Amino acid sequence: MKIDVFIEKVRKERKKTFEPTAESIYKKFVDLGYERRREKYFSDNASSIIETVRRECWKDFEKKEKNFTYKCLEWLIDDKTISKKNTEDTLKKYVKKHIQFFYELSKSNTQSRRSRAGTEFEKVIEYTLFGAGLPVFTQVKLGEKKNGKKKDVKPIDFVVPGIEEYYIAKSNCVVISSKTTLRERWQEVITDVSNINAGEVFLATVDEEISDDVIEYLYNENIHIITTKNNKRENYRNNVKVRTFEQLIKMCKDRMEELNQLGITTEQNNAIIDRLNKKLEENKDKTIVARTIEKRIKK
């Protein structure tokens, strides 16, 4: 088998083996019984939910990836390669012949893991916020409008409760970026915040090794770290500038309450309802999402 043929087979097999992240994450929420839980449970236990869903999803993914890898490697075995006469010599020849194939498969697995981890984290946060009764809009471009058009900027991960509300009263909305780990990538968030002029951004992460200097620098740029209760307790216990998902949810609810007191025009209200209806149509089979949107529409 030629290497380019192998790479294409791996790509197709991966697409067939692993279902879309949004669907697999929501199924895990259902399997764990979270679909039956109400707003208060999500508000009080957001950190635990996020940790549990991510842990259980990883277990499922790891099992699937092992079977997937085994199947891909099986394609490389044929009668010409395998001989019972000299097993050691045969294996050495096999490895030498297919070393580039092993490398490409390993690279593909690594890239897939990284991509999936980020998307998975975003979806877990999204469904947790919806479960807490917070409308969430994802991958939103919030560039400042100029001559009636928005600047072309990188989408921000989450806006609560929505983009229309953001342009009505920015200070009553919450903009959230998510990164499983930061390393040097925290600088990307600073650039994003500068481009959208959001005022402040909340950076959700499960990184266990953010230095005090980085936390302080981000804080001075109006970027606030959000993490789980366990991570806060174990790694940032004495840093008041690191907050939990439970604190984030309470703040979102407080700001939404203030937003609901503002007067808006009929045109603005119609725009909000239209976007909510589109979101509802996309998620009508996801109870956690649908019930929060329906409640928001009634308001």
Phi, psi of 178, rounded to the nearest 5 degrees? -130, 135
Specify whether 37 is located in the same domain as 111. Answer: yes
Residues 11 and 51 in one domain: yes
- Residue 267: alpha-carbon gap to chain centroid: 32
Phi, psi angles (nearest 5°) of residue 18 = -105, 120
Mean pLDDT of 66-89: 78
In a domain, 275, yes or no: no
What pLDDT does residue 194 have?
A: 72
CATH code where residue 200 lies: 3.40.91.80
pLDDT confidence band for 53 (50 / 70 / 90): very high
> Is the same domain home to 122 and 143?
no
Q: Residue 152: its pLDDT value, please?
A: 55
Identify whether 279 is part of a domain: no
At 156 the pLDDT is 85
200 in any annotated domain? yes
Inter-residue contact 167 to 264 (CB < 8 Å): no
Residues 115 and 156 in one domain: no
Q: What is the pLDDT of residues 10-29, one digit of tens each?
A: 999 999 999 888 899 999 99
Residue 89: pLDDT band by 50, 70, 90 thresholds? Answer: confident
Q: Answer yes or no: do 53 and 114 share one domain.
A: yes
Please report whether residue 57 resides in a domain. yes
Domain boundary among 131, 146, 170: 131
Average of per-residue pLDDT across 57-80: 89
Q: In this predicted structure, which of 70-74, 194-198, 209-213, 230-234 has the lowest mean pLDDT?
A: 194-198
Question: Which pLDDT does position 174 carry in this prediction?
Answer: 95
Q: Among 120, 122, 133, 102, which Cα is nearest to 38's?
A: 133
pLDDT band at 218, cuts 50/70/90? Answer: very high
User: Helices (DSSP H) in 75-198: which residue ranges?
Assistant: 87-131, 163-168, 186-196
Domain boundary (96, 131, 166) is at: 131
Residues 6+ apart with CB under 8 A from 145: 167
Same domain, 126 and 145: no
Q: How confident is the model at residue 49 (pLDDT cuts 50, 70, 90)?
A: very high
In a domain, 283, yes or no: no
Average pLDDT, the chain: 89
Same domain, 178 and 253: yes
* Backbone φ, ψ for residue 127 (5° rounding): -70, -30
Nearest to 198 by CA among 151, 265, 130, 131: 151
Instruction: Evaluate whether residue 43 is within a structural domain.
Output: yes
| Of 139 and 288, more confident | 288
pLDDT of 147 > 60? The answer is no
Q: Does residue 98 sit in the same domain as residue 180? A: no
Residue 106 token pair: 């390993």
Q: Tell me which of 262 and 54 has the higher pLDDT.
A: 54
- Across residues 223-238, what is the average pLDDT? 97
pLDDT digits (tens, 9 = 90+) for 169-212: 988 999 999 999 987 677 777 777 777 777 789 999 999 999 99
CA distance linking residue 90 with residue 79, whole number of Å: 11
Q: 3-class DSSP state for residue 198? A: coil
**How many domains does the chain divide into?**
2
The helix-helix angle for 287-298 and 87-131 (nearest 10°) equals: 20
Q: Is 82 among the domain residues?
A: yes
- 3-state secondary structure (DSSP) of residue 249: helix
Are residues 168 and 227 located together in one domain of the fold? yes
In three-state secondary structure terms, 60 is helix
Neighbours of 3 (CB within 10 A): 12
Cα–Cα distances in angstroms (integers) from residue 256 to residues 6, 81, 249, 252, 291, in the given order: 52, 65, 11, 6, 17
End position of a domain, from candidates 116, 131, 146: 131
Q: Is residue 73 domain-shared with residue 161, that is, in the same domain?
A: no
Domain span at residue 157? 137-262
Same domain, 119 and 141: no
In a domain, 286, yes or no: no
Same domain for 186 and 254: yes
